Amino acid sequence: MTQIIRQLSGVEDPTHIKHFVLDTNVLLHNPNALYMFDDNQVIVPFAVLEELDKFKKANDDVGRSAREVIRQLDRLRQKGRLADGVAWNDKGGSIRVDFAEDVRPKALTDQVPDNRIIGVAWGLKERGFRSIMITKDINVRLKSDSLGIQTEDFEAQKVDIDHLYAGYTTLDVAGELIDQLYEEKQLEVEALAPSPEAGLLEPLGPSVLDEDEGLELHANQFVQLRNAVDESHTGLARRLADTDHLIPVHGPRKPVTGIMARNVQQTMALDLLLDDEIKLLTLLGTAGTGKTLLALAAGMTKVFAEQRYDKLLVARPIMPMGRDIGYLPGDKDEKLSAWMQPIFDNLQYLLSTRGAGSQHAESKQPEQRIEYLMSSGQLVLEPLTYIRGRSIPHQFMIIDEAQNLTPHEVKTIVSRVGEGTKIVLTGDIAQIDNPYLDASSNGLSFMVERLKGEALVGHVLLARTERSELASLAAEKL
């Protein structure tokens, strides 16, 4: 406490402790950010409390995060005065609310929350402290950095997007190993270890070769095997859960709700989608790679044809490119209909004679069949707003556009999954509409990296656009 009072009085900090000034968006992104700076001091500007007060009444995830931060600060208040700083661990970590209105530079004279928050970091710097501004707002980072303040993004839950796990790799191997895989219906992982007798073994996708430990394959990771001598001689295998052997992957022998895989990544995706042992699956890919269509096709097969699950639940986050759902005309169902139109488009294709094939053709129009499935309760389309707080057992659950979710929101959603439920998250991390997320900080990327290698989890990066020849051309050239 003496140390904190001495810091507030303007005395030079002899321990060179870091003072992390948190912007409001960091706490809304993850309420637990208060406790992620270990043995340093976290500063919450008074302007942040005022902004949290404005957000706390909202019934969305932002409102819930705001209320959680306020509750945590209130619990800390029971241990001491927040104005003096409250220690929360035995390593010297403390949290302090800065109520001071320091004299700010002329560039920050406007009484807007961003300027007041930056002003706190600037005031600490001017008094000789190691002040670091933490914000997810790019413009705030630009403004504070221009004032000479050390400025950083919230890095605690960011992943290295350049080395994001793809779910598969390609290896050049001896042709005998490929033959052995299909003849014996399995192949020991150790058989892929480099050896002079086996010839060249080189990873062409994300590396699975560790210089110290040899071959490293994650559970449910795919391996494209290619003959080192004859490139036309290939095979596809998947490491079965957390076992030490690979199994051959053939792909579905008949259409899945009328569609077949068009490339090897789609074959991988369908293999995981149709495997009931895989409880969580993430599908990443750019527009037109088939993420949502494949997930819906597998879900319809599992729910309607095989009756493996009770319902097919499809949800999307409320994150528009333009206007919000509240400005759309009509009641809740009519608003939801407009919001879920991309899902309806895929369902109509799958339920049409073109998509489903003659064996599923009926006299009813696709729109009528969708309406029937929804009225019977077998098909449920909802915004993610209504998922929180529920327990969802025995359902095939698809979360579309999951790249717009924070790591905290993804955790909340997956924790809703009940017994017997399979959940599939799809998204394009190159198209993020959330202003405070990017390719490396969104919940979908975070989940891919944190859960890779788990026996119940699968992942595939879809790289090739299959929507149409024009869509492929646009994805490549534009």
Give burial (CB, 10 Å; 0-12/13-18/19+) of 110: exposed
Report the DSSP beta bridge partners of residue 383.
316
Confidence of residue 359 (pLDDT cuts 50, 70, 90): very low
pLDDT over threshold 90, residue 288: no
Mean pLDDT calculated for residue range 242-269: 92
Confidence of residue 39 (pLDDT cuts 50, 70, 90): confident
pLDDT over threshold 50, residue 12: no
pLDDT at position 198 is: 40
pLDDT at position 323 is: 40
pLDDT over threshold 70, residue 319: no
Give burial (CB, 10 Å; 0-12/13-18/19+) of 188: middle
pLDDT over threshold 80, residue 241: yes
Confidence of residue 195 (pLDDT cuts 50, 70, 90): very low
Q: Is there a common fold for 2-152 and 264-477?
A: yes
Residue 55 contacts by C-beta under 8 Å, 6 or more apart in sequence? 24, 28, 62, 63, 65, 66
pLDDT at position 94 is: 95
pLDDT at position 185 is: 94
CATH architecture, domain 2-152: 3-Layer(aba) Sandwich (3.40)
Structural domain spans, the chain: 2-152, 161-248, 264-477
Confidence of residue 322 (pLDDT cuts 50, 70, 90): very low
Mean pLDDT calculated for residue range 61-86: 93
3-state SS, the chain, equals: CHHHHHHHCCCCCCCCCEEEEECHHHHHHCHHHHHCCCCCEEEEEHHHHHHHHHHCCCCCHHHHHHHHHHHHHHHHHCCCCCCCCEECCCCCCEEEEECCCCCCCHHHCCCCHHHHHHHHHHHHHHCCCEEEEECCCHHHHHHHHHCCCEEECCCCCCCCHHHCCCCEEEEEECHHHHHHHHHHCCEEHHHHCCECCCECCCECCCCCEECCCEECCCCCCEEEEEECCCCCCEEEEEECCCCCEEEECCCCCCCECCECCCCHHHHHHHHHHCCCCCCEEEEEECCCCCHHHHHHHHHHHHHHHCCCCCEEEEEECCCCCCCCHHHCCCCHHHHHHHHCHHHHHHHHHHHCHHHHCHHHCCCCCHHHHHHHHHHCCCEEEEEHHHCCCCCECCEEEEECCHHHCCHHHHHHHHCCECCCCEEEEEECCCCCCCCCCCCCCCHHHHHHHHHCCCCCEEEEEECCCCCCHHHHHHHHHC
For 264-477, the fitting CATH number among 2.170.120.20, 3.40.50.150, 3.90.550.10, 3.40.50.300 is 3.40.50.300
pLDDT over threshold 70, residue 378: yes
* High-pLDDT (> 90) share of the chain, %: 58
- Segment among 262-266, 305-309, 331-335, 460-464 with least mean pLDDT: 331-335
pLDDT at position 461 is: 96
pLDDT at position 38 is: 85
Mean pLDDT calculated for residue range 97-106: 81
pLDDT at position 91 is: 87
d(CA 231, CA 178): 12
- Segment among 320-324, 362-366, 420-424 with least mean pLDDT: 320-324
pLDDT over threshold 90, residue 329: no
d(CA 386, CA 395): 16
- Segment among 119-123, 325-329, 365-369 with least mean pLDDT: 325-329
Phi, psi values for residue 188, rounded to 5° = -65, 140
367 or 210: which carries more pLDDT confidence? 367
pLDDT over threshold 60, residue 151: yes
pLDDT at position 277 is: 95
